[in-house]
């Protein structure tokens, strides 16, 4: 089981780092077309970097709840980007490519965070003595 928890943590680290690095696409509009993969506005770059750091810390500190928070923030950003695509200027800047990045890292961190928390919660062994989840369960490495 600890190997599985380690896998969730490594995924959170990777997704958080990838989100953080993706903030560089704030400069995408000035890049040559062959590497102009995504367009992220200033607000979007802050979202990607900020929640990326939270997701990264979730993996490093073995805290699934941080991955869930980062994932939820990025997923909400993806929805905001989607519903504001038809207006200009957009609160997060960028275009639909930013929505795809928010969604990718957001959904990924959400699933990894929830899976980690579920895996670190001990299964009840006796119906008469239900177990409870404590904050330390989430830190099992």
Contacting residues toward other proteins, per CB under 8 A: 4, 7-8, 10-11, 15, 36-39, 82, 85-86, 95-97, 99-101, 103-105, 107-108, 111-112, 115, 118-119
Cβ proximity to other proteins, 118 vs 133, nearer residue: 118
Cβ proximity to other proteins, 3 vs 128, nearer residue: 3
Cβ proximity to other proteins, 9 vs 43, nearer residue: 9
CA-nearest of 26, 68, 67 to 43 is 26
Considering only the C-alpha atoms of the chain, give the largest distance between any 2 of them, rounded to a whole number of Å: 65
Is 26 buried (19+), middle (13-18) or exposed (0-12) by CB count in 10 A? buried
For the bound state, the minimum distance from the C-beta of residue 118 to other proteins, rounded and expressed in Å, comes to 7
């Amino acid at each position: 089981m600890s190997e599985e928890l380690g896998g969730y943590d490594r995924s959170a680290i990777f997704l958080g780092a990838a989100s953080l690095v993706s903030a560089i696409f704030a400069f995408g509009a000035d890049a040559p077309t062959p590497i102009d993969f995504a367009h992220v506005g200033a607000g979007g770059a802050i979202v990607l970097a900020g929640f990326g750091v939270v997701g990264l810390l979730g993996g490093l500190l073995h805290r699934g709840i941080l991955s869930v928070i980062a994932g939820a923030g990025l997923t909400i950003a993806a929805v905001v980007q989607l519903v504001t695509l038809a207006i200009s200027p957009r609160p997060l800047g960028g275009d639909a490519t930013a929505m795809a990045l928010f969604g990718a890292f957001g959904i990924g961190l959400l699933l990894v965070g929830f899976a980690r928390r579920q895996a670190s919660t001990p299964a009840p062994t006796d119906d008469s003595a239900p177990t409870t989840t404590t904050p330390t369960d989430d830190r099992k490495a």
